[in-house]
Chains A and B, each alone.
Chain A
Amino acid sequence: MAAKRTAPPPANPNPNRRRVTSAADDSASAPPSKRMLAFHFLRALSRIHSSTPVPRRTRTIRRAAYSSMARAASPRSAWSRALLRQVRVRRAVRSRRAVLMRRRVSAAPAPPLGASRSSVSAGQTSVAPPVRTPPPRQEGEPARADALRQLIPGGNGMEYCSLLEETADYVRCLRAQVQLMQGLVDLFSGQ
């Protein structure tokens, strides 16, 4: 399967650095740099295409989109860290799938596959993903906030206030990513 590279991005081009400083000046988070987004995404795309074209490419491209989005976003936001953590965990899970299956088979009263895999992977991975803390008691906000938590990566551990902030950042990045992808599609289909 086409694996996503975890190599760090090269020397930060100026626009991103400038944007980071401006974001530091403002209290609100700055929109993600389009250039970094495009760089990461295109690099991932080229890797996917150069690797053997396999049927299940949709999912791979989608994951590449999210990963590039998470890389391009400033690491200050929690959702980007959660996304990258997910990617790493998934890769670890994938690489250890053989071991997991053996363990699952050996353990006779086997719990359902997903739970076992996630729990064992949680124990196995060196970068142990944080235990899903129950959502802290929120005084203000209603049950709809749980749906939002599920949507935003890493939303389960946050309280409502930071969840809203992360949502704003996530929406900005998502919108930039969608614009980028749409632009690419238009570019290619316009040939």
Chain B
Amino acid sequence: MQPTAREMQAMAAAGQISLDDLRTAASSTAAGAHDDFFDLLGGLPPSAWPDLSAAADGKAPEGGAQDEGMQQQFEGMYDESALLASQLRQHQISGGPGGGAETAAAAKQMLLQQLADLRQGHHMMLPGMGRSPGGGGSMLLPLSLGSGGSGGDVQALLKAAANSTGGEAGGVFGGSFAGSLQQQQQHFQPHHQQTAPMLGQGFGGGGGVGASGGAASQPQAGASGGAAAPPRQRVRARRGQATDPHSIAERLRRERIAERMKALQELVPSANKTDKASMLDEIIDYVKFLQLQVKVLSMSRLGGAAAVAPLVADMSSEGRGGGAATAGSDGLAVTEQQVAKLMEEDMGTAMQYLQGKGLCLMPVSLASAISSATCRMRPPVSHMAAAMRLPGMNGGVADAAAVPASPSMSVLTAQSAMANGEGSHSQQQAKDAASVSKP
């Protein structure tokens, strides 16, 4: 790219100075665009150009150098480029002796026309690809691609300035320049020829700004990297936005955190999703609440072997009795015998055994009172009464958290009290002034 630019500059210096900028600009953009096209289109159709090169061989050295240079740029272009070739040939043939510079200028204008047409073609392609990063820049990006590598990169820089806080690109290319370039690129499609000088100016300005090296190398490098495939184009945009990988990683990380917070927000049932800090507190509280629930439920699950019997095929529970109700009473009977045995040895172990089964001891009078009370009273009230009784009886098991679980358990108490009736109680009365009731 540099040799051709220098070539062009040399030719312009040799030729007419007025078109100097135009030529450099055109050649650079053409070179950039051609590089884009080269990468995009891959293999070059050599058959398209040999006649052109043959025709160019016979030209004046200046024109020939120009043409050769341009042919080198043209290499690897498309069918539409064949049109360009034919037009160039015509120009060369027509204007051969009459000033290679003028021919070159006209040819360049034609070239720009063709480039614009090609860009239009690329415009068609781009929406299909549809992968321009950033919503605001999506309109600009096709234009940027059309204008060639330098413009594309600057567009990316524009986007950077507009969207993110990505610093250096925005800093390097001032807003005014960006604005002017924007206008130029918007105009580019309809007015091919008019834009050529404008683009030349723009690029001349850009070249002036970035001439020291960064910008010049960036667009060209970006162009070379560039419009070949959408993924590469996206990377190029990002590189344009913020060259250091740290800010990109930062941005990625923040995005990931945000999306995960959103997912958590849906999980955690907290209506007011104000900000991240309070959301985090909500999440922590919810996790603590769930863990507490597990703890409470595991406490309530101490309801003896009979609790697991219906679900799990357990030999012992089957031995006791298949049905749920029968298993309940049989389980109680076995438990009672066990408790009786233990009570003879030591009250402490008996109590521990009962607690292990989730049972409690209460005076028979109280049990009968409860059973009679539940018959009379309304169920909710009985829940409360039984629930209040049980924590007192159980002692250590009870705490405020256990109360929510106990209403469901107290149903069992009431039912068992009613179902068992007097039978089981009378059996125990002989043993002691105590009865075993299932919490």
Residues of A bordering B, CB below 8 Å: 28, 42-43, 45-46, 49-50, 53-55, 57-58, 61-62, 64-66, 139-142, 144-145, 147-148, 151-152, 160-161, 164-165, 167-168, 170-172, 174-175, 177-178, 181-182, 184-191
Which 4 A-B pairs rank lowest in CB-CB distance, beginning with the nearest? A61-B298, A164-B260, A181-B297, A62-B298
Question: What separation, in Å, do the CA atoms of A185 and B293 have in the docked complex?
Answer: 12
Question: What separation, in Å, do the CA atoms of A79 and B253 have in the docked complex?
Answer: 21
Q: Which residues of A contact B287 (CB under 8 A)?
A: 148, 151-152, 167, 170-171, 174
B314 within 8 A of A: yes
B298 near A181 with CB under 8 A, answer: yes
A58, A168, A188: most-surrounded residue (chain B CB, <10 A):
A188
Q: Which residues of A contact B324 (CB under 8 A)?
A: 191
Which residue of A has the minimal Cβ distance to B409? A189
B308 near A49 with CB under 8 A, answer: yes
B294 near A174 with CB under 8 A, answer: yes
Which residue of A has the minimal Cβ distance to B283? A167
28 sample A-B contacts, Cβ–Cβ < 8 Å, listed by A number: A46-B308, A46-B312, A53-B353, A55-B355, A57-B302, A58-B295, A58-B298, A61-B298, A62-B294, A62-B298, A65-B298, A144-B281, A148-B284, A148-B287, A151-B288, A152-B287, A168-B267, A174-B291, A175-B267, A178-B290, A185-B300, A185-B301, A185-B405, A185-B408, A188-B303, A189-B412, A190-B408, A191-B328
Q: Which residues of B contact A58 (CB under 8 A)?
A: 295, 298-299, 302
Q: How many A-B residue pairs lie within 8 Å, measured between CB atoms?
A: 141
A57 near B283 with CB under 8 A, answer: no
Interface residues of B in 240-273 (CB under 8 A from A): 250, 253-254, 256-257, 260-261, 263-264, 267-268
Q: A58-B295, A167-B287 are in contact. List 4 more A-B contacts (CB 8 A).
A: A49-B304, A65-B298, A168-B267, A172-B267
**Cβ proximity bits B104-119 to A, threshold 8 Å, 1 near / 0 not:** 0000000000000000
B290 near A144 with CB under 8 A, answer: no
B268 near A191 with CB under 8 A, answer: no
Which residue of B has the minimal Cβ distance to A152? B287
Q: Which residues of B contact A190 (CB under 8 A)?
A: 408, 411-412
A57 near B267 with CB under 8 A, answer: no
| Shortest beta-carbon distance from A79 to chain B in Å | 11
Which residue of A has the minimal Cβ distance to B302? A57
Q: Which residues of A contact B288 (CB under 8 A)?
A: 151
**Among A55, A139, A144, A168, contact of B280 (Cβ-Cβ < 8 Å):** A144
Known A174-B291, A177-B294; contact A189-B299, beta-carbon cutoff 8 A: no
Q: Which residues of A contact B356 (CB under 8 A)?
A: 53-55, 57
A50 near B316 with CB under 8 A, answer: yes
B301 near A61 with CB under 8 A, answer: yes
Known A46-B312, A164-B257; contact A181-B301, beta-carbon cutoff 8 A: yes
Interface residues of B in 323-371 (CB under 8 A from A): 324-325, 328, 352-353, 355-357
Which residue of A has the minimal Cβ distance to B278? A144
